Amino acid sequence: MNFSRDTFASNLGLYTTISSNPWPSSPEDDLNTYLLYGNSSFQYRTWSPETSKILPTDLGMVVSCKIDFVNGITDDHMILIVGFLKVAGSAPTVNFIQASVQFNGDEKQNIMIDPIKSDPNDPTPNLGDVLYNSLNSQISADNFGTDYASEGRKTFPDIARDNLNAMIGDKDNPGAVSA
């Protein structure tokens, strides 16, 4: 299985306004690069996703990425982890999703959602919306206030959904993970 950062960036551009695409040309710089993009009036960085193949027979892949809410003071962070399974004769499918959100200065508000498991025999649920709802139910229950940083924190569910959808693609756009 392979992960294409270029496909991921292209797909993320369908949901956001990407202002920089500094993916390096040399592999030794891969992990220290990011996409800078906006959603409404807030800016985010998605750091170059990391991948781990499930060995020994290339059964699947785990993709994780760190996403920063750039708020000008100290950044809040989200870690998004997505597990893909290799399916014979088909594109890889999502097996599970998990996310954690760390709020700098408000650590008691940090969030770790339970893994969201996907049934490859029932592709009906929109996994981006399932992830959004799981995060949103916890973030909207917390009162962060109405300042710029607090309002930006409330957009993490949208950004998580955008990044997940960029990874898995849709019927018109291939996903970033391929067999």
- Position 34 scores a pLDDT of 84
Query: Could you tell me the residue ranges of all domains in the chain?
Result: 2-172
- Tens-digit pLDDT profile for residues 13-32: 888 887 766 665 555 566 67
pTM of the model: 0.88
Residue 26 corresponds to which tokens in the numbers above?
Answer: 């040399």
pLDDT < 50: residue spans in the chain: none
Give Cβ neighbours of residue 56 (< 8 Å, ≥ 6 apart): none
- Position 22 scores a pLDDT of 61
CB 14 within 8 A of CB 128: no
- Position 143 scores a pLDDT of 62
- Position 175 scores a pLDDT of 84
Alpha-carbon gap, residue 93 to 88, rounded angstroms: 11
